[in-house]
Amino acid sequence: MKLTKVTYVLTVLAGLGLAACQQDIDVDLPPYEPKLVLECYLEEGQPVRLTLLESRGYLDVASLPLVDGATVVLSHQGLNDTIPNVPFVDRATGKSYNYSSPTPIKTDYDSPYTLTVTDKQGRRLTATTRFIRPVAIKSITPEFNQNGEAYGLTKFDDNPQQKNYYRLTLTRNIRVDTLSLDALLDDAFSNGEEINWGSGYTFKKGDTIHATLYHCTEDYYKFLTTAQSARQANVNPFAASGEVISNVRGGLGVFATLTYDYRSVVIK
């Protein structure tokens, strides 16, 4: 049993005065069992790249250690492809991976993809995902206010024959690390209709708006929304913490496909 001392400040408003009380308490935390943490996305025409880490307790070091020497197998239509423990750095995004394969992914909308990971300790995790067809962006329109600031209005059509989940990102001038909008959407209130979604007034004349519309599987959408809620709970003491919903079994993380449409427009 791990004994941790936690200091908290209780602020009490009584009558016309503001009183602050500080008290030290001891909290018994159960022993934490580290788990494998996976992050892997499949994208048409791109090689398989993934990050494998090991989780740590809430009060332990912030950075998670890499897990090397594991056997990683991607299975599809009865074929197994072993992903070697070869580090890779994506120069476009700056993101690094500790497993990568030079073989590009070919999109198959009919058959699932399964990832199986077994580390040197015998721990095993599995996850399954599939490709779904992209949804086209109809238009991106800049709309100005009286101060000459513009927001980006993105339009696309929702398919009424199925439940749909989306992630829409808008970036300014370059496609990486300049997020002006990152919205998670479903079609609960717009099934089969045209969806219009605007950003904040973060653009001006001469800027380029880059719009990427991801068509998400339900598993990936649940992961994104619950991970977002968990991040918000960590910085808000009054928010209810929640479990991150994942399609990874035997560990933590996410295994998903990236299916998207991309368009850009120069603001004039």
pLDDT of residue 29: 59
Find all residues with CB under 8 Å of 131, minimum gap 6, and list them. Answer: 42, 44, 107, 108, 109, 113, 257, 259
Span 238-268, pLDDT tens digits? 555 568 999 999 999 999 999 999 999 999 9
Structure tokens at 264: 């850009």
**What architecture does CATH give domain 133-268?**
Sandwich (2.60)
pLDDT band at 26 (very low <50, low <70, confident <90, very high): low
Domain 32-131 and domain 133-268 have a common topology: yes
Domain borders along the chain are: 32-131, 133-268
Mean local confidence (pLDDT), 1-18: 39
Span 151-165, pLDDT tens digits? 999 999 999 999 999
Mean pLDDT computed over every residue of the chain: 87
pLDDT band at 229 (very low <50, low <70, confident <90, very high): confident
pLDDT of residue 222: 96
**Spatial distance between the Cα atoms of 158 and 70, rounded to a whole number of angstroms:** 41
As a CATH number, domain 32-131 is: 2.60.40
